Amino acid sequence: FISKDGFIVTNNHVVADAVSITVVLTDGRRMDATLVGRAEGSDLAVIKVQGDDFSFVSFEEGAQPRVGDWVVAVGNPFGLGGTATAGIVSAMSRDIDPAGYNEYLQIDAAINRGNSGGPTFDIYGRVIGVNTAIFSPTGGSVGIGFAIPAGIAKETTDRLMRGEKIERGYLGVTIGNLTNEYRESLGLPEGTKGAYITDVTAGAPGDQGG
């Protein structure tokens, strides 16, 4: 829960193909939920249950986790609701999905099937991420998990809660390094730094814009 009036954050892949959604609370109550909105590229979704007095947590945008900081991942692995696992931040800004828009926190707190959409806390109880994915040759946790950072999650879910549709811009270009050969052929002065567009996708916005 991210609000007292029943808004809940989860991953898009948890609810994308759902025909119906049921939320089970820690006291055993089962509640029907409605889908508020999904952001496929960010793998985030917001659902809602009826009520106005739920305990909730808030995304901590101001937290700046560092490699080595302790984290706690909470979720529902293998149907064991309310399970907490501990670990550290292993790396920052991991780009594990070429088609996505997130730079993930890598953590080694155990994440398994059912942890998706749960909160990643720091040791101060602040939500710094959303448990989202694992790398595993076996299907179980091997200590390489990924969480969507709180800043990305909050901006996206706030927009979904307002009923906005998440749209992403793109150029449609391939970018490489500005090598000396390219620099010289373009007549640029020595020491010029920058990115070099090596290819433009036909029909993409970059092409249409000239």
**Catalytic residue ranges:** 13, 43, 116
Exposure of 37 in the CB half-sphere (CA atoms within 13 A): 16
Q: Exposure pattern of 57-96 as b/e (b: 16+ CB <10 Å)?
A: eebbbebebeeeeebbbbbbbeeeeebebebebbeeebee
